[in-house]
Amino acid sequence: MNKEWSEQNKRMQSLIKKADTFNEGKDVLFELRNDLMNKITDYSEE
């Protein structure tokens, strides 16, 4: 997940820098947050 997360993080950062892609960047950020929360939930259930 680290490589995938890192790539998504870079994508999000480049998207939020521009006004015309800012909302798309927010969507990527929320996807990253959901992935992270799912991983935390999985670890806490184990």
Query: pLDDT digit string (tens) for 6-45?
Result: 999 999 999 999 999 999 999 999 999 999 999 899 988 8
Helix, strand, coil tally for the chain in percent (to 5): 90, 0, 10
pLDDT of residue 12: 95
Whole-model pTM: value is 0.80
Domain definitions of the chain by residue range = 15-39
H/E element, 6: helix 2-16
Contacts of 24 (CB under 8 A, 6+ apart): 15
